[in-house]
Amino acid sequence: MGASALIFIYWLTTVRQLHTRLILVGVIGTHLIAILLAGSRAAFISLIAASAIFLLLQFSLNDYELYVPTVIRDLATGGTIALGILIAALPIIDITEVRAIRRTLRIIYTGETETALLARFDHVGSSVELWIQSPLFGHGIGSYGVLFWGEDIVAYPHNIILEVLSELGLIGLLLFGTIVVLSLSRLYLFYNFLPKNMGSFLVSFILFWFISSLFSFDMTGNRYLFMSLALGYVSAGIYCSKENGVQCSDRQYSYENSK
């Protein structure tokens, strides 16, 4: 939901027709309402951070055709309307059934933390202890659930870095970091060859999934992060071709920058 909202924000920077912009703002607003009702902290934080980076990169392009201030105004208006609709709907819905509120009430009245924010601190401490026990190679893929809960279930520390450290050790983290660095360096290398707003979007899209991976999902659940990294790596090949009239290579890029 958060990633699709980011895509619509990107789309919002590419259109000028008023009716299209109104539709996009409405769609983004419904996404925001759904995220708030679901209580998805990872999606909300990731969307806010990635959108801010995307608009900042757009603004740094100094291309007034992108109308960044207008986009910010539209998003602020749409967000305010969405929040107003949500508040207005509270009298006709059971507030205790809203997932975000239900999870908060569970902490206050029952002290349950298994599915709440406080449980994350237990996972952080346990994953660090497991990594210290086997710092180089970890305990093996999927071992966290066995070692933390004492049974073979799908469990994870809700942080991809801690999961890699506890299950694959420093060697695994090095390999994971290599994938990230290769993707971002490749994207940086050909950034100037991409359409202006597409390069900014790809950076923010990768950032969205990386921030999300620091809060939720296991290695398999973070498949969208690896997908976005692959997208960043091949982005040059998408636009640099004879068909598009743009031919670029590492050598050409170095030559252009040396002039």
What three-state secondary structure class fits 241? strand
Report the distance separating Cα 101 and Cα 87, nearest Å: 13
Beta bridge partners of 246: 241
Q: Contact at 8 Å (CB) between 208 and 258? A: no
- Cα 17 to its chain centre, rounded Å, is 28
Q: pLDDT at position 258, please?
A: 41
- Cα 203 to its chain centre, rounded Å, is 10
Report the distance separating Cα 51 and Cα 33, nearest Å: 16
Which amino acid is present at 223? R
Tokens for 191?
């950034």
What string of DSSP letters covers 74-97? HHHHHHHHHHHHHHHHGGGS-GGG
Q: pLDDT at position 111, please?
A: 52
Beta bridge partners of 241: 246
pLDDT in tens, 213-226: 998 888 888 999 99
Q: pLDDT at position 254, please?
A: 46
Ranges in the chain, pLDDT < 70: 61-67, 94-118, 236-259
